[in-house]
Amino acid sequence: MASLALAACGLLVASSASADTTETQRARFRQAYAVAQQGGDAWRAQAAGLESYVLFPYLEAAALEHDLRTLDRAHVDAYLARYPGLIPAGDLRRDFLGELARRKDWVTFSAMYQPGLGDALSCFALQAKLSRNEPLVFETDLADLWKKASLPNACDPVIAAAHDQGLLTTDRLWSRIQVAADAGKGGTVASLAPWLPPEDAEAAKRIGQALNDPASALRDANTWPDTPRHRQAVTLALQRMARKQSTLADSAWSTLGPRFKLSEQQKDAIENTLALFHATDFDESALDRLASLAPGAQSDATREWRVRVALARQDWSAALAALDALGESQKDDGEWRYFRAFVLEKLGRQSDAKALYRSVAQEATYFGFLAADRSDTSYAICPARMATDETREAALLSDPGLNRAFELYAVGLQKFARREWTAALAGRDADTQRLAADLAFRNGWYDRAVFGLSSGDALRLYEQRFPLARQDGVVEQANQAGIEAPWAYAIIRAESAWMSDARSGADARGLMQLLPGTAALVAKRNGLAWAGGDSLYEPTTNIELGTRYLAQMAARYNGAPWLASAAYNAGPNKVDQWVEARGTLDPDVFVATIPYKETREYVARVMAFAVIYDWRLNGNALPIATRMTRIGSTYALPGPGAVRKPVSCPAPAAVKPTPPTAPAVMESPPATASSAPTPQEPQR
């Protein structure tokens, strides 16, 4: 967050510069950068005296990028010569090459092109080669591209030319069709099919149809010949249909199964998918299907869902049998150790259950906290501290790339800052990377600490991994919204990892990942100011609106933070469906039966994070079970006399390392790359 950035800013510039001078440079840079983004040379007057400032090269790059359509090579070459190796220089080269391709200036393009700039530019380079009437050579020009399931539009003319030159043999076409089919890219299959010989083209079209329109493929399959390629198409269509409508896939399977001589592997793949999606639909037949799967049709997913369905049915004997059938590595997972204890308790094996609960309770995870409540033990949180090393810190801060990264963060150019950070630390040892992450934390750049301290012993650096960031008013806004501050902190931490400029593929923005449309409605409902979608990148605005939306979700579910968290992630309509179907289950069992893997893990992550933030704010924590009220009961906010759980660190021999993949410590991917269900925007 730029508003919090770099309290120790004097360390990040030349030692002779004062903090006041640095702040003045930053202010002038912001002004000049705003002008540079409009193009032309007017920025130069604004930037007079900034020539020695570490971010000065970004100013000219911004102006050149704006003027790309009218730019000539001389200006670009001059910039590249002045700033070789800098990130904005690499961006300018890549973008100018794209502009040269648009102009069809293949002579200049070829003179400036460098390999390794992405598939689009690789294909533009091949277009340049074709413009010189040079033939393509498959092994050197196309072999690497041919392994990709999909390619940018720039490659279309190249692939067409390769076909015209006779390079796309039947074997080569089928090899890429198979790659595309494995990746589910029906469009690629359909585009290549017409170039096959007639007898092969029909089979390829049906593979594409199976991927793009499985319902029509299954209707047509009764007339297909029983050939290996058509068997592949049938298998794909059945698997695709199972994901959408498992009962229709069942009907088609009963008709088509006897008609095609599918391999055992294909039959297993179909049975696996059918059983799995009957399970996620909680069909009556689901448990029997999962239990009766042939060994070759089983997978980790089907074995886990066998447990989930048995839990949903509250069939404890079947649940224990399903837990016994898990793979050995699955049995070691905290989730399944917890539920083994849970099931043993239900079956009356109290001493076995208590011993297993106490074992799981040694872990600072969602299931560890649940187990601690079940066994009436304290929460096992063992904080660690980073050792200081002033010499190494000074060396890190003198690194030009890291210096640029910190300064870019300070002036609000966070995407560039993260890129400079990644480049500066590439190939560095783990200790150096952790030291850099701690420096980032101490200077308010929290997301670098969260992502940089996400494995091994660094998981115990709770101060850095769960920053309080009171400067953004989380506590105050949560109190005004009528929700708990630890829960609000947990949502922020799970949604964006404190990346204030985060933006998802569904356009959810900022710390709490709000959609602009949702934020506008929340603002109107609460009488708050609304300045448009970009205002969600301002932390205070985002938190003000996000806490109100959380309160709205909580009110919908009698105040229950865990159900409101599920709704925040998957959408309230979907959660309402789950509640209607399985609303009598214990909350921990209900979470385990959420059909969306992302939402299951999200709820677990948020609930665990709320415990940790509660501890950080108060020195101890409400029991996780307190926040996980039964569906239909009312959750009351904790008062001054609320009973809280003690937190202690078990003896070293008892401390088990937290699995890096456990939901309680799993780090979210950057929201800019998220494809998971988005807040207020459910997907399956």
* Strand, coil or helix: 441: helix
The answer to whether residues 560 and 554 touch, using CB atoms and an 8 Å cutoff, is yes
- Determine the Cα–Cα distance for residues 12 and 402; give it in Å rounded to an integer: 9
* CATH number, domain with residue 289: 1.25.20.10
Helices H, strands E: what count in the chain? 37, 2
So what's the pLDDT on residue 19? Answer: 61
Average pLDDT of the segment spanning 435-441? 95
> Does 673 score more than 80 pLDDT?
no
DSSP-based three-state secondary structure for 401: helix
Q: Is the distance from CB of 415 to CB of 398 less than 8 angstroms? A: no
| pLDDT at 20 (0 to 100) | 64
SS3 sequence, 330-391? HHCCHHHHHHHHHHHHHCCCHHHHHHHHHHHCCCCCHHHHHHHHHHCCCEECCCCCCCCCHH
What's the rounded Cα separation, in Å, for the pair 29 and 200? 62
Whether residue 158 is contained in a domain is answered as no
pLDDT digits (tens, 9 = 90+) for 58-84: 999 999 999 999 999 999 999 999 999
Return the percentage of the chain with pLDDT > 70, whole number.
92
Q: What is the C-alpha separation between 141 and 150, in angstroms, rounded? A: 16
Rounded to whole angstroms, what are the CA distances from 261 to 202, 248, 258, 266, 484?
19, 21, 7, 10, 60
Confidence of residue 656 (pLDDT cuts 50, 70, 90): low
Model pLDDT for residues 6-30, shown as the tens digit of each residue:
434 444 434 444 566 889 999 999 9
Please work out, in degrees rounded to the nearest 5, the angle formed at the alpha carbon of residue 611 by the alpha carbons of 560 and 490.
70
Cα 405 to Cα 447: distance, rounded to the nearest angstrom: 13
Nearest-Å Rg of the Cα atoms of the chain is 29
User: Is 410 domain-assigned?
Assistant: no
Q: Domain check: are 488 and 358 in the same one? A: no
Q: Report helix, strand or coil for 546.
A: helix
Instruction: Look at residue 596 and tell me whether its pLDDT is greater than 80.
Output: yes
The answer on 305 and 195 residing in a single domain is yes
Give the pair of three-digit tokens for residue 189: 């299959």
The number of domains in the chain is 2
Please say if the pLDDT value at position 684 is more than 80: no
How far apart CA 634 and CA 377 sit, in angstroms, is 25
Q: Which one of the listed residues 304, 407, 484, 495 is annotated catalytic?
A: 495
Is there a domain that residue 39 lies in? no
- Whether 471 shows a pLDDT value over 90: the answer reads no
Report DSSP state, residue 631. Answer: T
Report percent pLDDT > 90 for the chain.
Answer: 89
Task: State whether 363 and 508 are in the same domain.
Answer: no
First CA to last CA distance, the chain: 32
Q: Read off the pLDDT of each residue in 372-396 and give the average, rounded to a whole number.
A: 92
> Which two three-digit tokens encode residue 481?
């919204």
> What is the residue whose two structure tokens read 């960031």?
469
**Mean per-residue pLDDT, 281-297:** 95
Q: 388 — phi, psi (to 5°)?
A: -85, 145
Residue 293 has what pLDDT? 97
Q: What pLDDT, on a 0 to 100 scale, did the predictor assign at position 652? A: 64
Residue 85 within a domain: no
Q: What is the pLDDT, as a whole number, of residue 324?
A: 98
pLDDT, tens only, 111-167: 999 999 999 999 999 999 999 999 999 999 999 999 999 999 999 999 999 999 999
End residue of a domain, out of 380, 395, 424: 380
486 lies in the same domain as 603 = yes
Whether the predicted pLDDT of 659 surpasses 70: no
pTM more than 0.85: yes
Domain for residue 91, yes or no?
Answer: no
Please say which residue of 380, 412, 441 terminates a domain: 380
Domain that holds residue 514: 470-673
Residue type, 18: S
Task: Please provide the average confidence, as pLDDT, over all residues in the chain.
Answer: 92
Q: Which residue, among 50, 66, 21, 57, has the nearest Cα to 416 in the 3D structure? A: 57
From 380, 403, 428, give the residue that closes a domain.
Answer: 380
Q: What is the CATH number of the domain that holds 660?
A: 1.10.530.10
d(CA 312, CA 585): 7
Residue 630 placed within a domain: yes
Cα angle value 519/520/523 (rounded, 5°): 85
Residue 601 placed within a domain = yes
Tell me the pLDDT band of 650, cut-offs 50, 70 and 90.
confident
- Cα separation of 526 and 546, whole Å? 12
Residue 449 burial (CB < 10 Å; 0-12/13-18/19+)?
Answer: buried
Active-site residue, 463 included: no
Closest CA to 179 of 154, 201, 211: 211
Instruction: In whole angstroms, give the CA distance from residue 18 to residue 9.
Output: 9
State the Cα angle at 657 between 652 and 661, rounded to 5°: 165
Higher-pLDDT residue of 387 and 212 is 212
- Give the pLDDT confidence of 493-525 residue by residue, as tens digits: 999 999 999 999 999 999 999 999 999 999 999
Distance CA 439, CA 418 (A): 14
Same domain for 476 and 609, yes or no, is yes
Chain CA centroid to CA 337, Å: 26
HSE of 518, CA atoms in CB hemisphere, 13 A: 25
Interacting residues of 169 by C-beta distance below 8 A, sequence separation 6+: none
Residues 227/220, Cβ–Cβ less than 8 Å: no
**What is the CB neighbour count within 10 angstroms for residue 15?**
8
Structure token digits, residue 276: 């799995």
Confidence band (pLDDT; 50, 70, 90) for 527? very high
In a domain, 474, yes or no: yes
Alpha helices by DSSP H, listed for 221-292, are: 228-244, 246-256, 264-280, 286-291
Please tell me the distance from the alpha carbon of residue 76 to that of residue 89, in angstroms, as a whole number.
9
Backbone angles phi, psi at 621, to 5 degrees: -145, 145
Are residues 485 and 343 located together in one domain of the fold?
Answer: no
Q: Which residues lie across from 647 on neighbouring strands?
A: 379
Position 483 pLDDT exceeds 80 = yes
Residue-level pLDDT at 664: 43
Other Cβ atoms less than 10 A from the Cβ of 166: the count is 8
Is there a single domain that holds both residue 350 and residue 489?
A: no
State the average pLDDT over residues 330-337. 97
Contact 366, 600 (CB under 8 A): no
**pLDDT tier, 399 (very low <50, low <70, confident <90, very high otherwise):** very high
pLDDT value at residue 651:
67
Query: Which of 337, 281, 328, 329 is CA-nearest to residue 305?
Result: 281
Q: How far is CA 347 from CA 303, 340, 477, 588, in A?
A: 21, 10, 45, 17
**Rounded mean pLDDT of 86-107?**
98
Quick one: CA torsion of 632, 636, 638, 641, rounded to 10 degrees?
Answer: -110
Give the confidence band of 388 by pLDDT, cuts at 50, 70, 90.
confident
